[in-house]
Structure 1
Amino acid sequence: MNILWRLLDLGTVSGYTMTNLYEAVGRAVSAGDAPNTVILDHPEAPFVNIGYHQLMDKEINVGFARAKGFSLVRRTIGGGAILDGPWEQDYFAVVRRGDPECPATIPEFYGMFLRPPMYALRKLGLEPSVRPPNDILVGGRKISGNGAITIEKANVLAGDLLLESPTSLMSEIIRAPSEKFKDKLAKSMSEWVTSISVETGEAADRSEVKRLIVEGYGEELGITLEPGNLTPEENTTLRTLVEARSTEEWIFSKDNDLLMKMGGDARGAKVRGGVTVSEAVHKAGKLVRVVLVSEEDRIASVSISGDFFTQPYTGAVEELERNLAGAKLTEEDLARRVKEAFERTGMMVFGASQEDFVKAILKARFESG
């Protein structure tokens, strides 16, 4: 059976457009106002792109990024901080849930829609593999990062193939605790990130990469992509989203929430008698960062951030933070509060378990001194 989808080949776009376009299309696909869609585009200029659950000031050297003229972007998909730029080819698959082409679970969704970019890499003479849940590797090094999000009744896969790999610039953007660590970060990035040009020994041909991705949908999934355009309604939604999400209020919204909770106090600082602000990072499948305000043996407030993914992407972590307020700093009470929040919101987390959140909070408590 020949399955027809829409192809939006949009060329160069701004960082704000790239990180909101899939939502505008996702809403239209969800409502049945647009067909399932594949989007191909790439950034017109470099921009900093942090995950929805991350803190901009904790993850990014904001001063350096601003000095370089890079836009600061906070996307609605989880995952880690990255520097996007013209050196990549981005792709998005927007699929209505319930359609035969949409697998029931996010891991299966990844498995299916990573096949077209992997097809493209194989056709370029490379041997890609998947590092679960969502990285594509060549020779053990990352050449493609991917994320997924649910938008109303649609699922979205967002990913890119690196044509080049500006690892030195990336290491300057990511906030490091020291110059020594920054040097290690730069070296490690060059060791675990690669690109099509590095692997083939030739300059990557963007038009050929795009052609092979489109071909991969046909060969791997039996989906024919027909060139199309954004609808007027999608354009209107996109403009509204970009206007709202290019503001400092949105970009630093989680940072500002943290400042309110912490009262502007530094890590590990005693606020007043019996009250402490502390911080810890726990390595689960992804990183979980906790900034904790504790009073005696209870949580006064807590901020949870990291490069994990959640479903739903909005509201669930915030509900978890609210439910933890007042909890005793014991493993038993924390586990109960975390479980309650997960059950109430229906939250699923990719890259961390309920137990990981408990461990991160306890680690913050004991690292407070």
Structure 2
Amino acid sequence: MRKSENKMTEEWRLLEFDGLPGIESQTVYHTLGLAMEKYKDIENTIIICWPKDPVVCVGYHQIIEEEIDTTYCQAKGIPIVRRPLGGGAVYLDDGQLFYQVIANLKSKRLPHEVSKMYEEVLKAPINTYKKIGIPAEYAPVNDIVANRKKISGNGAAEVGGARILTGNLIFDFNFDEMVKILKAPNEKFRDKIASTLRDRLGTIKQFLKNPPSKAEVKEILIKEFEKALDIKLRREKRFLPKEQEINDQLLKQYRDPEWLNITYQRRSELLEKRKVKISGSTQIYHSVYKARGGLLRMLFEIEDNFIKDIVISGDFSANPMNTPELLENALIGTLANPKHIYSAINKTIRDEKIDIPGVTADDFAKAFELTLKELF
């Protein structure tokens, strides 16, 4: 091993899965998180792959019925999958190259704080883009941009026994299909989504007249990960048998409605109340607020000026993964006043060591204030 300034170069495993079924492109990193929790001999790993068929992927904290046109997806035969990381809904296909960094929780190679992990790990894809002629730069909290266009979306969290970061290099993108899979109240709004998406999202194909092949970019990315993390990657093509067993189990779980609707089921009774009339002393409110770190959606039931029930969802990232449930439990029984809400959220974030990059207790209070201002 050669020495770096502060640490020894580590050997990590590189799993080159290349084209995978759409759903499996998400189960593979989840597999290693669970494997690291169960077994002591699972190596720190980087996976490079892409989906060989389309899939719609929603963030762990999102409610599918609020984000996705499920009727369209069913008609087109496009599967919907829930990943174990935060972030927003996205259409994935073979126009994207995925990198998935999975490190044991005990590893000191990756920072523990999610925002710092983004800064360190994203040096590799940023430098890869630069090597092929695209002026990429880091855009906190979790994006890579070039000329103000997003060219890579990323997510990170602790999953099982691992700290995981995933992201993509976008060679080409099916803008039309992305617009169709998203839920929209009407066609005018859908047209607005399409216009915004084309203005804000960029691809390698758009930036370069003669773009390099996926194989060429992949080789650059591998070298850049070795530099950024000070590691040596050992190439392999398949899971260990015990890892494959976990992956097979996850493939079944990912198709299970219970997993797909995990956020909905957490507060299904409240979500169903949106469809019925509530009594005079009880009101149902829906709040949508854009924080720096993502969109916050909150549905809450107020009875006699106290929060009786609440569900928090959105495209934010958070550690631990049950952060929304922890915050919901802290808010139930709280006076529906922004100051009390801020206090309850802030205390829970501190006590539970919650990390929500780009989202603060003040953001939650503002979201409530915008919706409940007529109460005060």
Give the CA deviation at 1:262: 3.6
**Aligned partners of 1:48 and 1:198: how far apart in 2?**
23
Give the letter for the 2:331 counterpart: L
**Aligned partners of 2:344 and 2:94: how far apart in 1?**
44
Identical positions, percent:
28
**Does residue 312 in structure 1 map to residue 320 in structure 2?**
yes
Taking a change above 3 Å as real, the CA distance of residues 368 and 57 of structure 1, as seen in their structure-2 partners, is: farther
**Does residue 148 in structure 1 map to residue 156 in structure 2?**
yes
**Does residue 236 in structure 1 map to residue 270 in structure 2?**
no
Taking a change above 3 Å as real, the CA distance of residues 215 and 353 of structure 1, as seen in their structure-2 partners, is: same
Aligned equivalent of 1:161: 169
Do the aligned residues in 1 keep the contact of 2:264 with 2:271 (CA within 8 Å)?
no
Q: Give TM-score, length-normalised by structure 1.
A: 0.93
Aligned equivalent of 2:135: 127
Could you report, residue by residue, the CA deviation over 1:63-95 in whole angstroms, capped at 9, with x for unpaired residues? 111111111111110011111111100011112
Aligned equivalent of 2:5: none
Which of the numbers 206, 213, 220 marks the counterpart of 2:221? Answer: 213
Aligned equivalent of 1:70: 78
Do the aligned residues in 2 keep the contact of 1:262 with 1:277 (CA within 8 Å)?
no
Which of the numbers 206, 220, 234 marks the counterpart of 1:198? Answer: 206
Taking a change above 3 Å as real, the CA distance of residues 364 and 42 of structure 1, as seen in their structure-2 partners, is: same
| Unaligned ranges ≥5, structure 2 | 3-8
Aligned equivalent of 2:28: 21
Matches within 5 A, 1:37-76: 37-76=45-84
Taking a change above 3 Å as real, the CA distance of residues 42 and 188 of structure 1, as seen in their structure-2 partners, is: same
Give the CA deviation at 1:98: 4.1
Aligned equivalent of 1:322: 329
**Does residue 352 in structure 1 map to residue 364 in structure 2?**
no
Which of the numbers 298, 309, 328 marks the counterpart of 1:290? Answer: 298
Aligned equivalent of 1:85: 93
SS of equivalent residue, structure 2 residue 137: strand
**Aligned partners of 1:351 and 1:215: how far apart in 2?**
30
Aligned equivalent of 1:36: 44
Taking a change above 3 Å as real, the CA distance of residues 225 and 183 of structure 1, as seen in their structure-2 partners, is: same
Give the CA deviation at 1:250: 1.2
SS of equivalent residue, structure 2 residue 197: helix
**Aligned partners of 1:334 and 1:60: how far apart in 2?**
30
Q: CA RMSD in A?
A: 2.1
Do the aligned residues in 2 keep the contact of 1:167 with 1:193 (CA within 8 Å)?
no
| Unaligned ranges ≥5, structure 1 | none
**Aligned partners of 1:88 and 1:195: how far apart in 2?**
9
Aligned equivalent of 1:263: 272
Aligned equivalent of 1:254: 263
Aligned equivalent of 2:287: 280
**Aligned partners of 1:236 and 1:74: how far apart in 2?**
20
Give the CA deviation at 1:152: 4.1
